[in-house]
Amino acid sequence: MSDMRYVVPRTLDEAVGAFAEAKGAARILAGGTDLLVQMRAGAVRPGLVIDIKKIAELTGIEETADGGFRIGGAVAGARLAEHPRFGKVWPGLLEAINLIGSTQVQGRASAGGNLCNGSPAADSVPAMVAAGAVATLQGPKGRREMPVEDVPAGPGRTNLQPGEILVGFILPPRPLGSGDAYLRMIPRTEMDIAVVGCGVNLTLKDGVCTAARVGLGAVAPTVLRVDAAAKALIGSRLDAAALDAAAAACRAACHPIDDKRGTIAYRTEVAGVLLKRAAGIAADRAKGA
């Protein structure tokens, strides 16, 4: 017999209340595609599981009046893919979210869960960082906002306070001439954890890069925002020299580990390759936009 409890709050307040009350013994269930694997492996034994999928705010997708988006923390990737506008505005971010696991996993897994799971290899996070997404958090002390890159604290850890729940993401409005892209390296074509992931978001004006953000995954204990790479792109026409400099900046930012999924040398090398390729795709999209 299990000593776990399962609750399905209808409001965020209820959820936060239950989460705070459980004092660390509880886990939030969105898509569950990480949580259930961890439970089965015995890696976590929650006393309480809080299913947040019946809370309206956590499952909505809303295009704001200024052209930005609000995405609920528990929105499954497959639902985002079906949104008529989201993929047009944020194709790279959507691709990243839709690279999380199989079709089956897509039916359940959310960007919110991907972020809160704290994996440095989470596919959606580098793209979110590149997009300049901001996470909305709600806890016993109320609501606050935190840039996505500040959420991860280390493998499996976040900077959320006890009792805090990730409500959703705010994506800024897109200036004209913007494009984003996310690429990851995996040995197979699907079903792998990223060996390296790279998200690039940039804006072009008359062929010159006026703004850029770069996120890198699986090359450090947390997903990185690589400002030096962005800097190398900004002001350039994304010529070979600028791309080389940005790639070098990505490689310099890497401090990965050797593990079953990749080596330090390989990850470092590939980070630069992906930066160049992702920047190319993002630029094409910016020109098309």
Q: Which residues bind another protein (CB under 8 A)?
A: 1-6, 8, 29, 31-33, 36-37, 39-41, 49, 51, 53, 76, 78, 101-105, 107-108, 185, 187-193, 195, 260-263, 265-266, 269-270, 273
By the 8 A CB rule, do 158 and 152 touch?
A: yes
8 Å CB contact between 107 and 76: yes
Question: DSSP readout, 147-163?
Answer: EGGGSEEETTEE-PPTT
Query: What single letter denotes the amino acid at residue 168?
Result: G
Compare residues 203 and 268 and give the one whose CB is closer to another protein.
Answer: 268
110: tokens are 């959310």
Longest dimension (CA), the chain: 66
101 vs 177, beta carbon nearer another protein: 101
Nearest approach in angstroms of CB 165 to another protein is 18
CB of 269 to another protein, least distance (A): 6
Decide whether 76 or 219 has the Cβ nearer to another protein: 76
Of the candidates 135, 147, 162, 123, the one whose C-alpha atom is nearest the C-alpha of residue 34 is 123
Query: Tokens 């197979």 appear where?
Result: 188
Q: Which is nearer to another protein, 46 or 215 (CB)?
A: 46
Q: With beta carbons less than 8 A apart as the criterion, state whether 219 and 201 touch.
A: no
Dihedral Cα 51, 11, 80, 118, nearest 10 deg: -50
Q: What minimum distance in Å lies between the beta carbon of 186 and another protein? A: 9
Closer to another protein by CB, 36 or 61: give it: 36
In the complex, minimum distance from the CB of residue 107 to another protein, in angstroms, rounded to a whole number:
4
Task: Supply the minimum distance, in Å, between the C-beta of residue 109 and another protein.
Answer: 9
Q: How far is the CB of 78 from another protein (least distance, A)?
A: 6
Q: If we measure between CA atoms, which residue out of 181, 170, 174, 269 comes closest to residue 233?
A: 181
**Nearest residue (CB) to another protein, 32 versus 91:** 32
